[in-house]
Amino acid sequence: MAVLSMAMLLSACGAGPSAVTTQKADKTAREERCYQEFAALRKLDPAAYELYRQQFQTINDGYGVYKDNEPLVDGSSSEVMLTEINKALSLVCVRIKNAVYSNMMNRVDALSTL
């Protein structure tokens, strides 16, 4: 009960949405959109799906190294690695978005020639 009361009290203190909360929500929405487009690509273009799946696997491997060594390295090294991982994720998501768009445009072109 005390935790619930504290949560309600704290939520009342922050009545307006903070920039951090908005940024996290935007990031979550982008990640979800990327995942949905990646899932769509599986049927639209299996070869592209496999290429991006391999890229995600490489990123996941790098993240594993980061997490395993995070307590052993200084904050700057850890921050650089995490920044690079996030940059790579963003890049792959842009590539996926482009692949889905290109695939759909090719289908539109095929329909327009009927």
Of all residues in the chain, what percent carry a pLDDT higher than 70?
Answer: 83
The whole-model pTM stands at: 0.74
- 98-107 long-range contacts (CB < 8 A, ≥24 apart) are 99/41, 99/45, 99/48, 99/52, 100/37, 100/40, 100/41, 100/44, 103/41, 103/44, 103/45, 103/48, 104/44
pLDDT digits (tens, 9 = 90+) for 66-75: 999 988 988 8
Residue 40 lies in a domain: yes
**Residue 34 belongs to what H/E stretch?**
helix 19-44
User: Over 60: is that where the pLDDT of 99 sits?
Assistant: yes
Residue 8 lies in a domain: no
Residue 4 lies in a domain: no
Residue 15 lies in a domain: no
Residue 59 lies in a domain: yes
pLDDT digits (tens, 9 = 90+) for 30-57: 999 999 999 999 999 999 999 999 999 9
**Total number of domains constituting the chain:** 1
Give me 73's structure tokens.
Answer: 């390295």
* Distances from the Cα of 25 to the Cα of 14, 50, 96, angstroms: 16, 28, 21
